[in-house]
């Protein structure tokens, strides 16, 4: 089986700040990966590069074998243009810490918009699919509501439905529960748990929820100062690793409830 995503020696600097220092990572179809690590270690940057929200300063990212940031023109390698990026990015969905919904559009419109604008799907078909995905995240009774009338947990579930309508091969979650009131975290984790159990797509979760990572991740990566310092089955990395930096991180994390 071919990986759905490959990072090959990926580097990212912002000015003088060297954030990612040679990331090598193969993500297999349907694999569920959790990324943990201290603040500033580069977790968000790793997934933003895949979502094409930032450009690597070195190395390559391949999606389904296609180079995301480079394209071939008449046998020559060139920097990818918008069309190429858009085509490759179609396979990737992302849910952010802050949901970024359109406030003046209904929940249903928020979810049909990517289909009608990006995929040029007709409205009836788009609405049917959006309703199916909103049902999937437990919001089948909220189609006509506006974001302002939803709780944070419900908004986050809309954001998931909006990503799911695109039927991505890989879905990225960046600390999607960390901006929520504690009592709303459970309902969002429940949806992710359900997706992880029943969907074939690969999932990459940046998370501070260690128990949750243990429960759903096939593999956990510990990112430390821009390198993948540990990678392995969740239980091995979280409970059995002897890496002192990881132990320090987990200890700090357990004593504060966060990193
Ligand atoms: N657009 C940017 N411009 C300049 N520096 C940036 C930018 N984005 C990220 N950085 C820097 O890159 C480093 C890694 O940031 P990143 O957001 O990937 O960390 P993180 O592991 O997600 O941290 P956190 O747990 O706090 O979310 C930080 O030092 C950050 O200040
Ligand atoms: Mg982050």
**Span from the CA of 91 to the centroid of ligand 2 (angstroms):** 22
Residue with the two structure tokens 């995240």: 137
Task: Tell me, yes or no, whether 85 lies in a domain.
Answer: no
Domain boundary residue, one of 167, 190, 217:
167
**Per-residue pLDDT tens over the stretch 104-136:** 999 999 999 999 988 889 999 999 999 999 999
pLDDT of residue 257: 55
Question: Ligand nearest 54 Cα, by number?
Answer: 1
Residue nearest to atom 2 of ligand 1 (CA): 14
Flag whether 4 is in a domain.
no
Gap from CA of 239 to ligand 1 centroid (Å)? 27
Which ligand lies nearest to the CA atom of residue 43 in the structure? 1
Nearest residue to 137 (alpha-carbon basis) of 200, 178, 183, 189: 189
Q: Is 139 in the same domain as 108? A: yes
Ligand 1: residue of 18, 42, 51, 54 to mutate (most ligand atoms within 8 A of CB) is 42
CA dist 187 → 13, 138, 179, 193 (Å): 36, 9, 14, 10
pLDDT value at position 100?
86
Name the residue of 15, 45, 208 whose CB sits within 8 Å of the most ligand 1 atoms, as the mutation to test its pocket.
Answer: 45
Residues 187 and 111 in one domain: no
Say whether both 206 and 253 belong to one domain. yes
Predicted local confidence at residue 259, as pLDDT: 43
Are residues 179 and 160 part of one domain?
no
Number of Cβ within 10 Å of residue 182's Cβ equals: 8
- Tell me whether residue 217 is in a domain: yes
> What DSSP string describes the chain?
---SEEEEEEEEEETTEEEEEEEEEEE-TT-EEEEE--TTSSHHHHHHHHTTSS--SEEEEEETTEESSEEEETTEEEE--HHHHHHHHTTEEEE-SS----TTS-HHHHHHHIIIIIS---HHHHHHHHHHHHHHTT-TT-TT--GGGS-HHHHHHHHHHHHHTT--SEEEEESTTTTS-HHHHHHHHHHHHHHHHH--SEEEEE-S-HHHHHHH-SEEEEEETTEEEEEE-HHIIIII---HHHHHHHHHHHHHS--
End of a domain among 167, 196, 220?
167
Same domain, 47 and 175: yes
Burial class (CB within 10 angstroms; exposed 0-12, middle 13-18, buried 19+) of 67: middle
Question: Is the CB of residue 14 below 6 angstroms from any atom belonging to ligand 1?
Answer: yes
Ligand nearest the Cα of residue 96 is: 2
Q: Are residues 214 and 258 in the same domain?
A: yes
Q: 174 with 123, same domain? A: no
- CATH code, domain with 226: 3.40.50.300
Q: Which structural domain range is residue 214 located in? A: 13-20+30-53+169-259
Taking the CB of residue 137, how many other CB atoms lie within 10 A of it?
25
Boundary of a domain, candidates 167, 185, 217: 167
pTM (predicted TM-score): 0.93
Q: Per the domain annotation, does 2 fall within a domain?
A: no
Ligand 1, atom nearest to 54 Cα: 1
If we measure between CA atoms, which residue out of 169, 7, 198 comes closest to residue 90? 169
Task: Mark whether 199 and 214 lie in a shared domain.
Answer: yes
Please name the residue whose Cα sits nearest to atom 16 of ligand 1: 42
Do 223 and 237 sit in the same domain of this protein?
Answer: yes
Say how many Å lie between the first and final Cα of the chain, rounded.
36
- Contact assessment for residue 95 and residue 156, using Cβ atoms and an 8 Å cutoff: yes
Per-residue pLDDT 10s for the chain (259 aa) are: 899 999 999 999 999 999 999 999 999 999 999 999 999 999 999 999 999 999 999 999 999 999 999 998 899 999 999 999 988 888 999 998 888 899 999 999 999 999 998 888 999 999 999 999 999 999 999 999 999 999 999 999 999 999 999 999 999 999 999 889 999 999 999 999 999 999 999 999 999 889 999 999 999 999 999 999 999 999 999 999 999 999 999 988 777 655 4
Domain-located, residue 179: yes
Q: Ligand 1: which of 12, 17, 245 to mutate, judged by most atoms within 8 Å of the beta carbon? A: 17
Q: Report CA(103)–ligand 2 centroid distance (Å).
A: 24
């Amino acid at each position: 089986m071919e990986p759905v995503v490959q990072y090959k020696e990926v580097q990212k600097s912002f000015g003088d700040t060297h954030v990612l220092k040679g990331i090598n990572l193969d993500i297999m179809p349907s694999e569920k990966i959790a990324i943990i690590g201290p603040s500033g270690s580069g977790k968000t940057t790793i997934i933003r590069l895949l979502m094409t929200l930032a450009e690597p300063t070195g190395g390559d990212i391949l999606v389904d074998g296609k180079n995301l940031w480079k394209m071939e023109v008449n046998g020559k390698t060139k920097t990818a243009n918008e069309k190429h990026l858009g085509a490759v990015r179609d396979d990737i969905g992302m849910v952010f810490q802050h949901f970024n919904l359109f406030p003046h559009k209904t929940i249903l419109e928020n979810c049909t918009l990517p289909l009608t604008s990006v995929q040029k799907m007709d409205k009836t078909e788009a609405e049917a699919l959006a309703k199916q995905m909103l049902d999937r995240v437990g919001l089948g009774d909220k189609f006509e509501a506006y974001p302002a009338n939803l709780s944070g947990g419900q908004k986050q579930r809309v954001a998931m439905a909006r990503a799911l309508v695109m039927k991505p091969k890989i879905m990225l979650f960046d600390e999607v529960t960390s901006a929520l009131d504690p009592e709303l975290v459970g309902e969002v984790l429940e949806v992710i748990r359900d997706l992880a159990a029943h969907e074939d797509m690969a999932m990459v979760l940046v998370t501070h929820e260690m128990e949750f990572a243990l429960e759903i991740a096939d593999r956990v990566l510990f990112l430390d100062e821009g390198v993948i310092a540990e990678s392995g089955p969740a239980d091995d990395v979280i409970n059995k690793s002897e890496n002192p930096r990881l132990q320090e991180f987990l200890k700090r994390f357990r004593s504060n409830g966060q990193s």
